[in-house]
Amino acid sequence: MTLDLSLLPDGGMPWITASGAHADIVLSSRVRLARNVAGFAFSPRARDGERLLVLQQVREAASHVDLLSQAVLLRLDEMTANERRLLYERHLVSRELAELDAPTARSGSAVLVGEEAALMVNEEDHLRLQVFRSGFDIGGAWERAGRVDRELGATLPLAYHREFGFLTSCPTNVGTGLRASVLVHLPGLVLTQEIGKVLTGLQQMGLTYRGLYGEGSEVVGNFFQISNQTTLGRGEDELCDHLERVVSHVISREEEARRVLIRDAGYIIEDKLWRAYGTLRYARSLGVDEAMNLLSGVRLAVGLKLVAGLSVYTLNKLLVYSQLGHLSLAEGRPLTESEAGLARARHVRGVLAGEGSSA
């Protein structure tokens, strides 16, 4: 199949508009629920035939779910590696489901993309339901995810145990199967070196953090994905409320750090951020991590109102469109890493020139 991303509602990225609360600090809020269909072995252990049957049953059940009835079905098992990469870069599928290094994905690997909810099929679990929201809105994400889950489970029999709750392939997800996460940008806490304390604090509060692309990804560009660590023993509302409370606190710490930076080191910060902007505006080659780090500087400059005429929405788009898969798509062929460096710099220059920022 040829993947047509324009068919996807909001390009599959309802979070990208930066329309939510605290959007300069919080890129997105997400709730993910892991579920398995009763009567089948879990996806990694299932035979190809079983995986296809799971997909068939999930499609049938999803057609009766309000938020998924109009969803677009994308079969990863019929896509090229670069097409799968595009979905991964949009956070629509996990690295595991995308199988970026394999020539083909396993039978039945798919994602259903609706306007407000998306459903990964045959990942580590049969179902990974995801709801993304722009900015800081865990409550909104949970409300929608809970609704889709109840409607799906009403026609599709799910694997459930009275004591252990919803059963998952990995015991670290069992129970609620819920992972609520918030993708936050914390350059103030990094620059003031408060971040160590904050991260240690998160772990003491039963939360954990990862990089921009979730599990297994490094922290680059001062982006941290904060989520609940445990899924059993506490209810869904409690898990979401707890994350929301702690992240609210992290946001105020970040705002405070930014005030301190401007007060105590205003010109140093301003110089540093304009240098980041200058590099992005004029560089001829940019590595991906380099671009992420410089974009972090510009994002902070926009947050501090040092740069006018550049929107957070544009910066969100740059995060996605300067990834390898999207650059390859724009160039019409798979790029090597060094070709991507040139293409990335060209793309970023073009976008920044178009937005016309001023000091």
> Of the two residues 47 and 275, which places its CB atom closer to another protein in the complex?
47
Q: Tell the smallest beta-carbon distance from residue 116 to another protein (Å).
A: 20
Q: Tell the smallest beta-carbon distance from residue 144 to another protein (Å).
A: 15
DSSP 149-178: HHHHHHHSPBPEETTTEE--SSGGGTBT-E
> Of the two residues 38 and 330, which places its CB atom closer to another protein in the complex?
38
Cα Rg, the chain, nearest whole Å: 21
> Of the two residues 31 and 291, which places its CB atom closer to another protein in the complex?
31
Residues that bind another protein (CB under 8 A): 36, 38-42, 44-50, 52-53, 124, 146, 149, 153-167, 169-172, 174-176, 178, 193, 195-197, 199-200, 203, 206, 208-210, 229-236, 238, 264-268
- Closest by CA position to 68, among listed 121, 28, 15: 121
Query: Cα–Cα distance between 157 and 12 in angstroms, integer?
Result: 27
> Which residues 6+ apart lie within 8 Å of 162 measured at CB?
none
Q: Tell the smallest beta-carbon distance from residue 344 to another protein (Å).
A: 28
Residue pair 254/222 in contact by the 8 Å Cβ criterion: no
> Of the two residues 191 and 310, which places its CB atom closer to another protein in the complex?
191
> Of the two residues 169 and 279, which places its CB atom closer to another protein in the complex?
169
Q: Tell the smallest beta-carbon distance from residue 193 to another protein (Å).
A: 7
- The widest CA-to-CA distance across the chain, in whole angstroms, is 64
Query: Cα–Cα distance between 131 and 32 in angstroms, integer?
Result: 7
Residue pair 120/130 in contact by the 8 Å Cβ criterion: yes
Q: Tell the smallest beta-carbon distance from residue 169 to another protein (Å).
A: 5
